[in-house]
Amino acid sequence: MKTFSFLITLILLTSCQSNEQINKEDVPSVTPSELIGSWTTTNLNPDNISLKGFELKEDYTATIHVLDSRNRTNIYKGKWVLTKELKVNEMLNLKTFLSLEFQESKNKRKTFLFKEDREDGDLILSIRGVDYKHI
């Protein structure tokens, strides 16, 4: 009887299938080629965020325009990547769409994490209440 129970259990376990459903929020609705080009904002608030605009390139590099404390534009070279989840630590996971990273100084690396949205059919990248549009 033990052998029979073992065989039934073995058959059931080997015939199980994983029916993992794909969450539409986890699948980017745009391709990297749709992101290539310049992005700028019209509602920049330097108290909230200092990112004036950026240009995404095909080789996943970026040119990033950041305002300094004197309201001057500094230009940095960086990289970008499409992401769906960024694990900060054991307790904090961030769901983002685009990560834009650059070295601001020798000891300071900066990362901007964007969410994707649509407005009148146009793709909008947003971060902390500031929207960026493809130009």
Task: With a cut of 90, say whether residue 28 has pLDDT above it.
Answer: no
CA pair distance 16, 35, nearest whole angstrom: 40
Task: With a cut of 80, say whether residue 82 has pLDDT above it.
Answer: yes
Task: With a cut of 90, say whether residue 37 has pLDDT above it.
Answer: yes
* Any domain includes 37: yes
Sign of CA dihedral 41, 123, 100, 88: positive
* Secondary structure class of 3 (helix, strand, coil): helix
* Any domain includes 7: no
Q: Which residue has the higher pLDDT, 115 or 37?
A: 37
* Any domain includes 15: no
Q: Which residue has the higher pLDDT, 135 or 31?
A: 135
pLDDT at 30: 74
* Any domain includes 129: yes
* Any domain includes 88: yes
Torsion, Cα 106 58 34 130, to 10 degrees, reads 10
Q: Which residue has the higher pLDDT, 13 or 134?
A: 134
pLDDT at 36: 95
For residue 67, give both structure tokens. Answer: 């305002």
In CATH, what number is assigned to the domain containing residue 59? 2.40.128
- Note the pTM of the prediction, 2 decimals: 0.69
* Any domain includes 60: yes
Residues 6+ apart with CB under 8 A from 29: 116
Q: Which residue has the higher pLDDT, 73 or 44?
A: 73
Give tens-digit pLDDT for 98-133: 889 999 889 999 999 888 888 888 889 988 888 999
Give tens-digit pLDDT for 86-96: 566 666 666 66
Domain assignment of residue 52, given as a range: 29-134
* Any domain includes 97: yes
* Any domain includes 12: no
Question: How many folded domains does the chain comprise?
Answer: 1
